[in-house]
Amino acid sequence: MVAKLNTEEEIAKMRVAGKLAASVLDMIGAHVRPGVSTEALDEICHNFIVDELDCTPAPLNYSSTPGQTPFPKSICTSVNHVVCHGIPAAKKILKSGDSLNIDVTVIKDGYHGDTSKMFFVGKPSVLCERLVRITQECLYKGIEAVRAGARLGDIGYAIQTYAERNHFSVVREFCGHGIGRVFHDEPQVVHYGRPNTLITLEEGMSFTIEPMINAGKRHVKILPDRWTVVTKDHKLSAQWEHTLLVTTDGCEVLTRRSDEPFG
């Protein structure tokens, strides 16, 4: 597993891409409400990314493996028990009580900014609110573990222990990833593990942390569309994601939104 170290010029471009990706999530929140289809949200995001930001939506027509049907939309919309990679659809109408993850990746000047956020549609259940909150806290625990000299296993351990302490489970089939000019690059950033294991982090590395946390068991399955991932027990799942740059004494959150405390 070899992780690329970014130059100052590359870092500058990633900062721009990350800020633009975050702006999509800041924009779309006002449109998340009962009665709206996930396809309508996709169209709003697509037009904003292309027309307002002058970017390319990375998921559109993306294939992760040879022979796979390309992803047909510009964002991923994962509702309730959908873990990740939900495909926006006209027939998927949001209703009060739903939870929704919107996953956005933009390309600007050849570099990617990748981030996701959870939204509530109307008033969530107590369980849903708690799962979403704990999942965001898992992401922040992972971010706190990032600094030059730390190990990838430290990130996974911080996330797993916090999730399981709160009686939730961590999805293991999907993980964070290196990112920059390449959408999905090395290293793979798993959200479970043991401290002081896997590769050592170095200043200039960039990758995502994107824990997927389930209210029930950790097991998932992929639907026949070969993209949509759901919990096997149909219990709720939540996910939050940021793109990070490793620094000497911590990390820079390249996709930080306006409602977040860290720099």
Grouped pLDDT means (10 residues each) for the chain, 263 residues: 86 98 98 98 98 98 89 98 98 98 98 98 97 98 97 98 98 98 97 97 98 98 96 98 96 94 65
Identify the pLDDT of residue 65.
83
Compute CA distances 211 → 101, 135, 140, whole Å: 12, 7, 10
Identify the pLDDT of residue 219.
98
Sketch out the chain's domains with CATH numbers: 8-253 (3.90.230.10)
State the alpha helices, DSSP H only, in the chain: 8-28, 38-47, 126-144, 152-165
Q: Is 250 helix (H, G, I), strand (E, B) or coil?
A: strand
Identify the pLDDT of residue 3.
79
Identify the pLDDT of residue 259.
86
Identify the pLDDT of residue 127.
98
Identify the pLDDT of residue 47.
98
Q: Is 77 helix (H, G, I), strand (E, B) or coil?
A: strand
